[in-house]
Amino acid sequence: MQGITTAARSNQGHNAHQSAPSKLIKEQAQLLGFEKVGIVPASPLVEEGSRLRKWLESNYHGNMTWMARHPEMRTDPRVLFPGARSVVVVALNYYTDAEHASSPQTGKISRYAWGDDYHDVLSSKLKSLLSWIQEKFPEAQGKVCVDIQPIMDKAWAQRAGLGWIGKHTNLITPEYGSWVFIGELILNIELEFDNEQVEDHCGTCTLCIDACPTQAITEPYVVDSNKCISYATIELREPTIPDEIRGSLDGWLYGCDICQDVCPWNRFHQVTSESRFQPREGNVNARLPELLDLTQDEHAERFRGSAMKRAKLSGLQRNARALLSNEPSLT
């Protein structure tokens, strides 16, 4: 196995940890609850970066201006974390078996936001993994990345062999479908790397493309955020939802899972063992009249520690009004 190296290491011959700790790191990651782990070199994402630039040039990111910032960081972890040598990529299953209700008085919430905020859950696990690595290998330094850092999570997961990026642009794992969260731990030590990647198994299937009510999947593997229900209900910072999307909300208050719900690979879902992802009360379907009556303080209390705070009270109430306007009998 390849030995550990760091930019500043000296006296390699007397280092007590000559064998790469990749196997140990993976075992510890699994003990912490991660279902899948892969380790790859911290080298630039060249092809992925080219696709990202093309996507940005098409303005498919809408008003998510941060996506266009620091492109060199998004494609090269050595810019994000100087001295980076390895990237540990993890996947955490979040599927629970609750179901949406069909009621015009409620709004459907995307499965990823049913439980506690995944940023907090993944970050705590990755920080624990980093602490464990530093106990075993004191020369190790690292950076935890969970979605909000400028790093291409799905591209790294695909490179690390955790799955493939489907035509709906979500990562699909053979064992858990696409119901997984992704995180990274960038390290300044060189490890033994994984070389195997998962073949794209989408084949000729176009169910996700055909099912999207707003045609947001403009072509296989390309999503125009401006047409996406998830974008409109979470990221769009406008007082109203565009009419062409509002009429196709189909009850979605926060996010949208249609392209994942129809994916054949999600028949392999498994219920998560992470209790923090179990649905909070009112986070599978939210009662629209109650949302419209919430104060700022009540909103802060109800959605503390939830990913749903991303939309802010003004966004949730805007979405609730849009859904109610689609049901004239309720207005």
Nearest to 87 by CA among 136, 134, 144, 30: 144
Percent of the chain predicted with pLDDT > 70: 93
Active site residue 116: no
Arithmetic mean of pLDDT, 301-327: 96
Asked if residue 39 lies in contact with residue 25, where contact means CB atoms within 8 angstroms, the answer is yes
pLDDT exceeds cutoff 50 at 5: no
Arithmetic mean of pLDDT, 34-44: 98
Query: What is the Rg, in whole angstroms, of the alpha carbon atoms belonging to the chain?
Result: 21
For the chain, how many residues are written?
331
Q: How confident is residue 328, by pLDDT bands cut at 50, 70 and 90? A: low
What are 79-103's pLDDT values in tens digits?
999 999 999 999 999 999 999 998 9
**Is 0.85 surpassed by the pTM of this model?**
yes
Q: Give the model's pLDDT for residue 329.
A: 57
Nearest to 17 by CA among 188, 184, 191: 191
Q: Give the model's pLDDT for residue 6.
A: 39
Q: Give the model's pLDDT for residue 327.
A: 76
Q: How confident is residue 290, by pLDDT bands cut at 50, 70 and 90? A: very high
Cα(103)–Cα(317) distance, integer angstroms: 17
Asked if residue 228 lies in contact with residue 256, where contact means CB atoms within 8 angstroms, the answer is yes
Q: Give the model's pLDDT for residue 282.
A: 94
Cα(292)–Cα(318) distance, integer angstroms: 9
Cα(324)–Cα(287) distance, integer angstroms: 11
pLDDT exceeds cutoff 80 at 75: yes
What are 265-281's pLDDT values in tens digits?
999 999 999 999 999 99
pLDDT exceeds cutoff 50 at 14: no
Arithmetic mean of pLDDT, 157-170: 98
Lowest mean per-residue pLDDT among 1-10, 42-51, 196-205, 233-242: 1-10
Q: Give the model's pLDDT for residue 3.
A: 38
One of 76, 97, 120, 147 is an active-site residue; which one? 147
Q: Helix, strand, or coil here: 330?
A: helix
Q: b or e along 159-195 (b: 16 or more beta carbons within 10 Å of the residue's beta carbon)?
A: bbbbbbbbbbbbbbbeebbbbbbbbbbbbbbbbbbbe
Nearest to 176 by CA among 98, 91, 119, 110: 91
pLDDT exceeds cutoff 50 at 215: yes
CA dihedral sign, ordered 66, 72, 73, 74: positive
Percent of the chain predicted with pLDDT > 90: 90
Q: How many CB atoms lie within 10 A of CB 40?
A: 20
Kindly provide the residue ranges of all beta strands, DSSP E only, lying in the chain, ordered along the sequence.
36-41, 86-93, 106-109, 142-145, 164-165, 171-172, 180-187, 217-219, 222-223, 252-254, 285-287
Distance separating the N- and C-terminal Cα atoms of the chain:
67
Cα(67)–Cα(196) distance, integer angstroms: 29
